[in-house]
Chain A
Amino acid sequence: MPRTDPADVEGLEELGSLQGLLEHRVRLAICVLLSEHDAMSFSRLKQVLEETDGSLGTHLRKLEDSGYLAVEKSFRDRRPVTWYELTQAGRSNLKRHVANLARLIDRVGKRAP
């Protein structure tokens, strides 16, 4: 029976510790954008991410329901504007996720011939 390399097990642990919600690139991009900027509107996110209303709305709702995002509604020229901000929980989860990603890539890079 082949023996398992301990390094592989550590790599799998890191893969497993990635935040499931942030494994989708659009949700990860949303969180990264909101960590850079204090708040962004729905239309600005849509313009930057080049997503459809429906797709972006679904991703934002998932992040909001998980407590990653705070939502604020306001009006501009009598039109409703929805603003999104990263919560403290969202920020720390993103930080952890990015750190795990970096560790994983670093480990794979070291093992590559």
Chain B
Amino acid sequence: MTDTESIREDIAYVRAVAERTGPGHVPAIYVIWAVICVCGFSLVDLVGPGSSWVGIYWLTAGPVGGALTWWVAARAGDREGQADRRTGKRWAGHFLGFFVVGLLGCVLAATGELTWSGLTSLWILLLALTYFLAGLHLDRRLMPVGLVLAVGYLVTLYLPEYRFTTAGALVAIALVVQGLRGRREAHATN
């Protein structure tokens, strides 16, 4: 075997090994955000889109959910023997971007450019885009969640009653299903 053939084989080996070690899948994170979404979206129907309770809920649940996600992911990485802090920062930056844009969006409703109900629907559409892009760049399992969120956005516009609760339930189901599918795939790979 020539040197270059041996080098090609070595590279094929390294590539095969690297493909075996994607970032770990943690279904608990999907469940955390399913619970946060279903509670937060239902709250909009319960107290009304313009209620300060909705703002208080998301300003609390967002950062708490983010911190909990970080902690759960760090523990899973510790258990698995693989630390991916840089990947964690990319995830945090991605969803922090949505959070900041969501906050800035409040100005539209505060200045009367948009109704609070319209703004809530717009948030869901932005969240759909955030999940879809996360699926594209970070974890492909999130792409269908983004598509379900886009359906949820339409539901909030056209369903006569319980529209945000229905959208929240759809997203929660999508998140739990994708979380469980990921676990099954991870088991099959191992």
Contact = CB atoms under 8 A, between A and B. Distances in A.
B14 A38 contact: no
Interface residues of B, number: 22
B81 A33 contact: no
A77 B152 CA distance: 44
Contacts of B161: none
B13 A44 contact: no
B17 A101 contact: no
A41 B11 CA distance: 23
Nearest to A15: B3
Q: Name the residue among B14, B81, B83, B84 with the largest chain A CB count within 10 angstroms.
A: B81
B80 interface: yes
B30 to A, nearest CB: 22
Nearest to B3: A15
A36 B11 CA distance: 15
A7 interface: no
Interface of B: 3-4, 7-11, 13-14, 17-18, 20-21, 78-86
28 contacts: A25-B13, A28-B10, A29-B13, A32-B18, A33-B17, A33-B18, A36-B18, A36-B21, A37-B83, A38-B84, A38-B86, A39-B82, A39-B83, A40-B82, A41-B82, A44-B80, A44-B81, A44-B82, A48-B20, A49-B17, A76-B79, A83-B81, A101-B7, A101-B11, A104-B4, A104-B7, A105-B7, A108-B4
